Amino acid sequence: MSEMIERVAEAIWDARIERGGPGRTLMPWPLYPEADWCRATARAAIEAMREPTEKMLEAGDLPGWDDYVTAGLSKEIWQAMIDAALNPTQS
């Protein structure tokens, strides 16, 4: 399992608790019955982020660099990072 998927899944679980969902017990996080649902939800959320918004692409532009150097790179870098979060064992 991806470290990022696990991190997001646990954050989803924590958010459910804060909104009145079932509370944590002494059971370790990965053993909660809802953990698999949280992991699937986390994966779907991360996959949805693979396509950056225009604002994200603008934020990824490197100040002071010519457009021809950075054009398209921020999107490629972002997508490579998302792919690594989803599939950490692939290179």
Report pLDDT digits (tens) over 19-44: 655 666 666 777 888 899 999 999 99
| Confidence grade of residue 49 (pLDDT, cut at 50, 70, 90) | very high
Residue 59 has pLDDT above 70, yes or no: yes
Q: How many residues does the chain have?
A: 91
Q: What 3-state DSSP class applies to 5?
A: helix
Residue 48: the pLDDT is 97
Phi first, then psi: what are they for 51, rounded to 5°?
A: -95, 105
Q: Which of the two residues, 59 and 72, has the higher pLDDT score? A: 59
What is the pTM for the complete model shown?
0.77
The residue among 87 and 25 whose pLDDT is bigger is 87
Q: What is the maximum span of the chain, computed from C-alpha positions, in angstroms?
A: 55
